[in-house]
């Protein structure tokens, strides 16, 4: 039988590259697409030699064409860290809106099933904890984070419209904080920021008083949840994340202990609209997908720390990752 063909957008990013690995291992023909604004070809270069892998350098915010049959589409193209989407707000909005529209049209033309990467950010700064899928969120649409939050909320809305109006097979995953190898060390999120600061011998920066909470899911667990959701029959949003909640102060202490450094935790003002709590209710994932996280934070952090330590010195020392000037003309 011919291999099933799957298009993965954002394929050179952190999650996209792990999805490429997973579907290659499942003997799919993987068509990877990325415009490399925030992605890195080094994340997928080990796949280029394979005959069942191909790569397109393309921006999905413009017309998307893929020749031949297509069975599945995973839409993971988007900046995903505040340091990125605050610098490229228009591109962030476009990839969530125009990009999603283009790919839904492609899915309809190819009769393909499409899964979109939504986010816990659709819940905004939540006033319930943990957050179930039925919670509609507390989002500031005109705040600095609105470009990402509302792009993802629109993405969910148009995906459901294609499902209900056109009968398109769609799936929606709401991803909570995820970590693991291939994260950018300086992407602005708390876990790589803490580890990067520890490796460089800097104090660890805590925003606010550190009482805000996060819950961290190891990447292999997340990829398994996405895989199960794609092949389920459930078209509505499903939270995938680890409900093991921790305050940022406690997390900073864990990183200091893990890295064996003796840095201090220093505080800075809390950014605008930064959520105070982030913890998934994964009841649906357990009941519908038979999924729950398996990798403990201690185990996942150890693997991730070893990955970050193995990076070239210039990458570790480079605090500023990307210059987006060319994209903002």
pLDDT (tens digit per residue) in 153-169: 999 999 999 999 999 99
* Average pLDDT score over residue span 256-281: 89
Please give the average per-residue pLDDT across 75-91, as a whole number: 93
pLDDT tens-digit map of 198-221:
999 999 999 999 999 999 999 999
Q: Is 148 a catalytic residue?
A: yes
Q: By three-state DSSP, how is residue 263 classified?
A: coil
Q: What is the mean pLDDT of the chain?
A: 95
pLDDT over 80 (residue 327) = no
Note the pLDDT of residue 275: 83
pLDDT for the residue numbered 328: 67
**Active-site residue (options: 72, 85, 123, 148):** 148
Side-chain-side CA neighbours of 212 within 13 Å: the count stands at 19
Indicate if the pLDDT at residue 266 is higher than 80: yes
Q: How many CA atoms lie within 13 A of 275 on its CB side?
A: 29
Mean pLDDT across 71-85: 94
Tell me whether strands 170-175 and 237-240 are parallel, antiparallel or unpaired. parallel
Q: Is pLDDT of 319 > 90?
A: no
């Amino acid at each position: 039988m011919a291999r099933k063909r799957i298009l993965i957008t954002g394929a050179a990013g952190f999650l996209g590259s792990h999805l490429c690995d997973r579907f290659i291992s499942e003997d799919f023909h993987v068509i990877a697409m990325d415009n490399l604004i925030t992605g890195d070809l080094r994340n997928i270069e080990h796949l280029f030699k394979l005959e069942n892998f191909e790569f397109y350098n393309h921006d999905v915010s413009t017309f998307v064409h893929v020749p031949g049959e297509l069975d599945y589409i995973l839409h993971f193209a988007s900046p995903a860290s505040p340091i990125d989407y605050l610098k490229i707000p228009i591109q962030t909005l476009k990839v969530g809106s125009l990009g999603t529209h283009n790919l839904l049209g492609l899915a309809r033309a190819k009769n393909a099933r499409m899964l979109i990467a939504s986010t816990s950010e659709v819940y905004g700064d939540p006033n319930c904890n943990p957050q179930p899928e039925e919670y509609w969120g507390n989002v500031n649409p005109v705040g600095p984070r609105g470009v990402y939050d509302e792009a993802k909320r629109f993405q969910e809305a148009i995906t459901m419209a294609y499902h209900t109006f056109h009968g398109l097979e769609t799936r929606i995953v709401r991803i909570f904080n995820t970590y693991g190898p291939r994260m950018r060390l300086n992407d602005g999120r708390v876990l790589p920021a803490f580890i990067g600061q520890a490796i460089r011998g800097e104090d660890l920066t805590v925003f606010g008083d550190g009482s805000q909470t996060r819950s961290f899911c190891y990447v292999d667990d997340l990829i398994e949840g996405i895989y199960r959701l794609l092949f389920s029959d459930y078209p509505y949003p499903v939270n995938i994340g680890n409900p093991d909640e921790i305050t940022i102060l406690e997390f900073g202490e864990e990183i200091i202990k893990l890295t064996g450094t003796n840095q201090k935790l220093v505080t800075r003002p809390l950014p605008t609209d930064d959520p105070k709590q982030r913890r998934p209710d994964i009841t649906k994932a357990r009941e519908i997908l038979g999924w729950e996280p398996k990798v403990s934070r201690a185990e996942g952090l150890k693997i991730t720390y070893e990955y970050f330590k193995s990076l070239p010195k210039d990458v570790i020392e480079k605090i500023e990752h990307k210059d987006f000037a060319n994209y903002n003309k």
